[in-house]
Structure 1
Amino acid sequence: METEINGSAMDNNKRRQKKKKKNSRFLRNAKGFAKQGIYGRGTHIDDDQYNYFINILDAMKTGFEDVEEKVNMANNVFDQTNEQEIHLASNQIVCKVLESLIGFVDAENLERFFSVFAENFRPICSDRFASHVLQKMVEIAFLRALGKDKLKNPADGDDDANGISYTPVAKRAKTEVTAINEELYNLEADFNSEHRLRCSQFVERVSKFLLNNLEDFVWDSCANHIMRTSILSLAGVHVAKVAFEKGGADMAKNRKLYTVPDEWVDVLKEFPQRLEMWPQFPDFPYQEHSSALIGIICIALRATDKQLLKHFGKKILMNAFLKVEQSEEEKKKKIEILDDEDEKSAENNSDTIAEEEANEKREEPINKIQLPKVFEYQSAVILLETLLTVAGPKLFTQLYAMLFTGRLALLAKEPLTNFAVQKLLQNIKEKDDFENVFSELVNDVEELLKIGHTGVVEALTAACLRVGAKQAQCIVSLQTALHTPASDKVKVKCFFHCMIKLKPYEVAQADNSGFVHLHGSLIVQHILRFNKPIFLVNCILETPPEQLVSIFNTPNGSHIVDAFLQSKYIGEKSREKFIRNLEGFYVDLATTKFGSRVIESCFAVAQESQKSRIVKELADKVNMLKGSPFGRLLYNKFRVETYRLSATQWKASLHANKEHKVDKLFKDIIN
């Protein structure tokens, strides 16, 4: 049971360990190849140079005490590259070092690289190693050109209108060279105005070079990445790139938005305007690199020119997405030139042929739906997901009406396209459109759960909450799918248990493990925030406390408590009963990582008498509490020692804290 409870946490640890092992293996392999006389891929460097850069990688791996130490190392390394900049940057090992440290070099070294690289843009853009250095140079030049003064306030940014977040990621207090402290250094360092101007000119120069050579670089895997970074820079969108690591969803979600010069925006607009005139434009979504480039352009236009985005998005929809992939039989058909006799016989047989075709159509299965070409290719589906995320109301409605209407049930069941349906649900805002979507999907909830496409069901429930429609019908559909209908008084009580496992009644009954499905937990949280969640509330309150504790001690299950206690549609009496049901198990929860979160949430909303009971129970088993690191935190936070010495004094301090919070809350108004 314990293994299953901690399953997701172990998976996360494995991913982190895998990344660490990958980096260690890279360095270990590099040293091993050196013994064989192989000094990295790319250009050949001599033994001394190779060992020098390997030692630098070793030093970077151990970390630095402060930023000044990083800056000194970066400048020393870049001094060693003088008059060999491109040759060294084209080597695999040196490339990684330069890319990792270039954000910390002084103005003189960076400008030297600007000059040398500018004279050799074409070969560098296609070099599989030097191109990484150039890409990083564009990013650093972008940050130094703008500085922290140009960073837009997240509250004023383009944040939540279309589901794109420009909020900075939480700062990590680490000593390694990370994208976070690199960004802070380049934004806050005191560079002179001349250096900032040269950085601005470099971003514009690289972007114009790529623009003028679009035909050569759109399908080039190396140059395409530089182009994407340049386009985002021109739009003022920054996504931190860590050396030799892929971006991933987290980076895309935590981008920042900056105010950029008008000249940059003018250069940016030329990219979509030129590309849409190409005869190959309809084929762009169906090739990996060109599709990714189009997606980045859409994200950039979302931040700079929504009108141009609407035009560009409609062009993609009409010219590319609505194509229908021809079957093999259709491709084999040939147009034949008929002579007079053939034409006469063709006319005589036309009625017979038409009748045969009509019979064939009748024999075809009714549920056979021909999908647009966009749903046949992964690269095109990913571009569609991007477009759904950034599209304005009019373009979004067009995408929904032309691509999804009448096909949603089929698309939701396909492995390739169900994520596009999730994006549609996550971004839909019009109530009428959502009701149509709901009616198409509601009858297929059970099948979606059965085939494992639980993300679609979660997105559907979240949309019911966000749009404020079809909430009662959503609960009924989930009851039906999990075989816990309201008409069966025994089965209906197990709805919560089935929901957190996303298994039908018959299967869930045999599952006594502490496993909580991620999407099951999220669906429960959404329902608890519905306008009328009383049915699920009663299910939870009737669940045995032992079972609740097992659920709340998991990472997915612990968040259900937050939704229950914070929902504005759950009454005070239900919250009190919920907290009271956990009595006798407070210590069991307090001594675990996720359970301690639950106790904190309960304590925050509990009445004074209930708070006293919580602390009393913890005080009675203080040895168990202090035996866990999580328990010790609660021991100090709830002042359990004070309670043990004097319950009256503890209550007095509780009142004092409450009054202090009220004074702090109204301080500005009073002043």
Structure 2
Amino acid sequence: MESEVNGFAVDQNKKRQRKKKKNSRFLRNAKGFAKQGIYGRGTHIDDDQYNYFINILDAMKNGFEDVEEKVNMANNVFAQTNEQEIHLASNQIVCKVLESLIGFVDAENLERFFNVFADNFRPICSDRFASHVLQKMVEIAFLRALGKASLKNVGEADDNTNAADQPSAPKRLKTEVTAFSEESYNAESDFSADHRKQCSKFVDRVSKFLLNNLEDFVWDPCANHIMRTSILSLAGVHVAKVAFEKGGADMAKNRKLYNVPDEWLDVLKEFPQRLEMWPQFSDFPYQELSSALLGVICIALRATDKQLLKHFGKKILMEAFLKVEQSDEEKDKKIEILDDDEESSEKVEEVASKNAEGAEEEKPTVKLPKVFEYQSSVILLETLITIAGPKLLTQLYAMLFTGRLSLLAKEQLTNFAVQKLLQHIKEKEDFENVFNELVNDIEDLLKIGHTGVVETLVGACLRIGSKQAQSIVSLQTALHTPATDKQKVKSFFHCLIKLKPYEVTNADNSAFVHLHGSLIVQHILRFNKPIFLVNCILDTPAEQLVTIFNTPNGSHIVDAFLQSKYIGEKSREKFIRYMEGFYVDLATSKFGSRVVDSCFVAAQETQKARIVKELADKTNMLKSTPFGRLLYNKFRVETYRLSATQWKASLHANKEQRVDKLFKDIVN
């Protein structure tokens, strides 16, 4: 068990180091090519310039002590580009340096780039390296033009977002960590009013240029990305761009909103209004670049004009999504004008062939709309589901998913769209129809590995407060642990965390806990009547529970158990007592220590004392790991060893301090 936990920690470290290795490999390759006289792709630069920018990349890799140091480097680097701005920006190595540092240059250097780039928009927009610099310039100009004062409140930004849809403790994205100092520097620094005005003009100028040249740039892979950033900027939506990193799929969620001038909103609205007039609009979702552009426009409209979003989304639905892809036979079918004799004989043959084929045909195949045939259109559909209002969401469900959910949930390409629908569906009646379509397919979905659909289905039962008992029964049936079999039903919890049927789980002694299995357990523990699963957990041998709780996925089950408002105090106390004798084993591991901490917080005073006594009896073992030492200090185990009475007194004192702090504002 310990080796598995250590193995997981190693995997996590590898993931964290992946980006560093990628950057190191980039530098190694760049230095290797330089020895062959190849100084980066794009425009040619001389040896001295190349070495200078390689050294800058090396210095950037080592990091900066503070923002001021990075600002000084940025200004020095940009000073070296004077009168060579476009030539250098069109080189692969220089482009990466400029894109990484442009957020920290002073007003003079940034405005110099504004002026030079503004005179050469067309070639720059199509250049595979300089376009990255221009895209980043739009983002920085947006932040400086608006400043922190224009940042919307969280409640104002997500007025239609259901708090239940969001995870309780979302992890910070890598892009947020990388771009944090850059965003705060540009939004919070005290730039002059004239510089902010120049930045605002630049955003407006780039956006209008792209708007007036839509036909040239919609399908241009470089200009399309600049257009997306410009559209988001016009809407006041900030999504950080990190040099040579792809944007995340959760753009609609992970964003900050700013108040923008009315002139920007007027320009923004022209993008969807012009595009929807194009004769090829219905084909946009089926091409990667145009589909991504439509998705960004929808996100921008979600933040600025919900009425226009409803109109634009409905147009995409009616004119593009509902198209049915013709088969090759239908496309090749020819219309011929026949004589009367030929026509009659043709009909006889046709009837005969239909009768022969009729016996072979058992049932007609479900014809899917064209939207489900292409990855780009499915991604656009997922975006639209995420940001749609109640009426548009109901239309998307009724016209695209009704009667097809069973098939869509089993397809590799479309099962994520079903998950998005389940995560955002709001009408109880619609959800119950979705549940009835999918409930009989749970076992098949588990077999083919589409466990995410099952997890979101159970999560929707929790969120909407419907079909909770039926979901538990259907899971029992799918995992072959029916309530009628008293022996098998005891293994329901064990089967659920592995998402494998009883026959397979019975022979599986590994510590593996499926991520979606853990999430399903957490959802059920928060149901209105979770007593059945509570009893299953309390009937599981304590040694087996320790193995489960020592895993990253399993440890969070305890949080749901102890925090659920539908699990009684007696059940919580029974669980905390049940784990006695194993707290030291849990406390010495990374994820088990979380479990001990959660149990201690939820425990009554007498139970807290028993937990600390158990830890105090095996101090050496507890202090043998960093996780155990953390709990040793947090629970004041040393104080307990010296005097249990003094430890209890300090516990009371801390409790009184917390109460005083809680009511301080009210009393004042």
TM-score category of the 2 structures, normalised to the smaller one: over 0.9
SS in structure 1 at match of 2:156: coil
User: In structure 2, what is the equivalent of residue 579 of structure 1?
Assistant: 576
Counterparts of 2:195 and 2:227, CA distance in 1: 23
Counterparts of 2:168 and 2:495, CA distance in 1: 36
User: In structure 2, what is the equivalent of residue 13 of structure 1?
Assistant: 13
Q: Is 1:611 matched up with 2:613?
A: no
* Cα 1:5–1:504 shift into 2, 3 Å: farther
CA-to-aligned-CA distance 1:534-553 (integer Å, 9 cap, x gap)? 00000001111111111111
User: In structure 1, what is the equivalent of residue 553 of structure 2?
Assistant: 556
Structure 1 position 249, deviation (Å): 4.1
| 1:151–1:258 Cα contact (<8 Å) kept | yes
Structure 1 position 661, deviation (Å): 1.2
| 2:252–2:387 Cα contact (<8 Å) kept | no
CA-to-aligned-CA distance 1:234-273 (integer Å, 9 cap, x gap)? 1111111111111224666321111111111111111111
Residues 531-570 of structure 1 mapped to structure 2, 5 A cutoff: 531-570=528-567
Counterparts of 2:10 and 2:394, CA distance in 1: 41
Counterparts of 2:68 and 2:476, CA distance in 1: 61
User: In structure 1, what is the equivalent of residue 454 of structure 2?
Assistant: 457
The alignment of Structure 1 onto Structure 2 pairs a total of residues equal to 667
AA aligned to 1:381 is: V
User: In structure 2, what is the equivalent of residue 308 of structure 1?
Assistant: 308
SS in structure 2 at match of 1:248: coil
User: In structure 1, what is the equivalent of residue 661 of structure 2?
Assistant: 664
User: In structure 1, what is the equivalent of residue 443 of structure 2?
Assistant: 446
Counterparts of 2:417 and 2:162, CA distance in 1: 15
Q: Is 1:123 matched up with 2:123?
A: yes
User: In structure 1, what is the equivalent of residue 38 of structure 2?
Assistant: 38
Q: Is 1:365 matched up with 2:359?
A: no
Structure 1 position 663, deviation (Å): 1.4
User: In structure 2, what is the equivalent of residue 262 of structure 1?
Assistant: 262
Q: TM-score, normalised by structure 2?
A: 0.96
Counterparts of 2:538 and 2:25, CA distance in 1: 51
AA aligned to 1:384 is: L
Counterparts of 1:177 and 1:528, CA distance in 2: 33
Structure 1 position 645, deviation (Å): 0.9
| 2:525–2:561 Cα contact (<8 Å) kept | yes
User: Aligned match of 2:633 in 631, 636, 639?
Assistant: 636
SS in structure 1 at match of 2:598: helix
CA-to-aligned-CA distance 1:58-80 (integer Å, 9 cap, x gap)? 00011111111000000000000
User: In structure 1, what is the equivalent of residue 97 of structure 2?
Assistant: 97
| 1:521–1:557 Cα contact (<8 Å) kept | yes
* Cα 1:287–1:10 shift into 2, 3 Å: farther
Q: Is 1:294 matched up with 2:294?
A: yes
User: In structure 2, what is the equivalent of residue 141 of structure 1?
Assistant: 141
Gaps of 5+ in 1: none
Counterparts of 1:7 and 1:332, CA distance in 2: 57
User: In structure 1, what is the equivalent of residue 178 of structure 2?
Assistant: 178
Question: Bigger shift: 360-369 or 371-380?
Answer: 360-369
Counterparts of 2:108 and 2:393, CA distance in 1: 48
User: In structure 2, what is the equivalent of residue 471 of structure 1?
Assistant: 468
Counterparts of 1:438 and 1:135, CA distance in 2: 44
| 1:458–1:519 Cα contact (<8 Å) kept | yes
Counterparts of 1:650 and 1:3, CA distance in 2: 35
| 2:252–2:386 Cα contact (<8 Å) kept | no
Structure 1 position 659, deviation (Å): 1.2
Structure 1 position 458, deviation (Å): 0.2
* Cα 1:259–1:362 shift into 2, 3 Å: farther
CA-to-aligned-CA distance 1:516-573 (integer Å, 9 cap, x gap)? 0000000000000000000000000111111111111111000000000000000000
SS in structure 2 at match of 1:155: helix
Counterparts of 1:44 and 1:564, CA distance in 2: 63
| 2:147–2:188 Cα contact (<8 Å) kept | yes
| 1:151–1:257 Cα contact (<8 Å) kept | yes
Structure 1 position 665, deviation (Å): 1.4
Counterparts of 1:421 and 1:562, CA distance in 2: 28
Structure 1 position 177, deviation (Å): 9.4
| 1:236–1:257 Cα contact (<8 Å) kept | yes
Structure 1 position 226, deviation (Å): 0.4
Structure 1 position 17, deviation (Å): 2.6
Counterparts of 1:201 and 1:165, CA distance in 2: 36
Counterparts of 1:512 and 1:155, CA distance in 2: 47
Residues 494-533 of structure 1 mapped to structure 2, 5 A cutoff: 494-533=491-530
Structure 1 position 317, deviation (Å): 0.7
* Cα 1:297–1:553 shift into 2, 3 Å: same
* Cα 1:132–1:165 shift into 2, 3 Å: farther
* Cα 1:440–1:4 shift into 2, 3 Å: farther
Counterparts of 2:199 and 2:43, CA distance in 1: 28
CA-to-aligned-CA distance 1:488-514 (integer Å, 9 cap, x gap)? 000000000000000000000111111
| 2:252–2:383 Cα contact (<8 Å) kept | no
SS in structure 2 at match of 1:219: coil
AA aligned to 1:335 is: I
Q: Is 1:64 matched up with 2:61?
A: no
Q: TM-score, normalised by structure 1?
A: 0.96
Q: Is 1:422 matched up with 2:419?
A: yes
Counterparts of 2:122 and 2:226, CA distance in 1: 12
AA aligned to 1:208 is: K
| 1:162–1:390 Cα contact (<8 Å) kept | no
Structure 1 position 346, deviation (Å): 2.8
Q: CA-atom RMSD, angstroms?
A: 2.2
Counterparts of 1:295 and 1:65, CA distance in 2: 39
User: In structure 2, what is the equivalent of residue 88 of structure 1?
Assistant: 88
* Cα 1:190–1:261 shift into 2, 3 Å: same
Q: Is 1:132 matched up with 2:129?
A: no
Q: Is 1:377 matched up with 2:374?
A: yes
Q: Is 1:236 matched up with 2:233?
A: no
Counterparts of 1:177 and 1:40, CA distance in 2: 28
AA aligned to 2:213 is: N
Counterparts of 2:278 and 2:113, CA distance in 1: 34
AA aligned to 1:192 is: S
Structure 1 position 658, deviation (Å): 1.0
Structure 1 position 668, deviation (Å): 1.9
Counterparts of 2:479 and 2:143, CA distance in 1: 52
Counterparts of 1:58 and 1:513, CA distance in 2: 45
| 1:43–1:90 Cα contact (<8 Å) kept | yes
Counterparts of 2:87 and 2:174, CA distance in 1: 35
* Cα 1:618–1:530 shift into 2, 3 Å: same
Counterparts of 2:278 and 2:253, CA distance in 1: 31
User: In structure 2, what is the equivalent of residue 399 of structure 1?
Assistant: 396
User: In structure 1, what is the equivalent of residue 651 of structure 2?
Assistant: 654
* Cα 1:584–1:304 shift into 2, 3 Å: same
Structure 1 position 12, deviation (Å): 3.4
